[in-house]
């Protein structure tokens, strides 16, 4: 067994789509899972989902919005959000967020 601190994952800073304070940690090749960290006040700018996508907060809270006109919804640990392939979406946080994102066709069945 190996206990892993998400801060130890190889990461890169993402600035696309107006994103700020957004670091992406890649879990592994062939695995459609990533760990994300958003700093306090961070934002993953509005962009289309490449595949069906599931965001699962591990710590912190986020406001998430999808392609419809509804206002952002707050989520935290114990909750998740699913976006369809091609759906425009964004995530923001006031206090910071660590989350796991799973991507793949099977995610669409969770909708």
Would you place residue 60 in the very low, low, confident or very high pLDDT band (cuts 50, 70, 90)? very high
Residue 101 located in a structural domain: yes
Q: Mean pLDDT, to the nearest integer, of 8-14?
A: 72
Task: Evaluate whether residue 71 is within a structural domain.
Answer: yes
Q: How many domains does the chain have?
A: 1
Q: Give the separation between CA 74 and CA 7, rounded to whole angstroms.
A: 24
**In-domain check, residue 30:** yes
Residue 4 in domain: no
Is residue 1 domain-resident? no
Report the alpha-carbon distance of residue 96 to residue 107 in Å, rounded.
25
Write out pLDDT tens, residues 64-96.
Answer: 999 887 899 999 998 989 888 999 999 999 999
Is the residue at 33 inside a domain? yes
Q: What's the mean per-residue pLDDT of the chain?
A: 84
Q: What is the pTM of this model?
A: 0.78
Domain that holds residue 18: 9-110
Q: Residue 21 and residue 35: Cα distance in Å, rounded?
A: 14
CATH number of domain containing 71? 2.60.120.10
Considering the domain boundaries, does residue 45 fall inside one? Answer: yes
Of 82 and 9, the structure prediction assigns the larger pLDDT to: 82
The dihedrals phi and psi of 36, each to the nearest 5 degrees, come to: -115, 150
Q: What pLDDT, in 10s, does the model give residues 38-50?
A: 999 999 999 999 9
What's the pLDDT band for 1 if we cut at 50, 70, 90?
A: very low
Q: Can you tell me the distance from the alpha carbon of 42 to that of 27, in angstroms, rounded to the nearest whole number?
A: 21
Give domain status of residue 3, yes or no: no
């Amino acid at each position: 067994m190996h206990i892993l601190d998400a801060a130890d994952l190889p990461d890169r800073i993402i600035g696309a789509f107006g994103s700020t304070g957004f670091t992406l940690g890649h879990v592994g090749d062939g695995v459609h899972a990533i760990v994300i960290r958003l700093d306090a006040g961070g934002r993953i700018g509005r962009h289309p989902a490449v595949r069906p996508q599931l965001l699962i907060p591990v710590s912190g809270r986020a406001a998430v919005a999808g392609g419809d006109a509804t206002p952002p919804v707050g989520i935290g640990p114990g909750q998740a959000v699913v976006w369809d392939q091609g759906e425009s979406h964004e995530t923001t946080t006031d206090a910071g967020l660590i989350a796991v994102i799973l991507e793949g066709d099977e995610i669409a069945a969770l909708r």
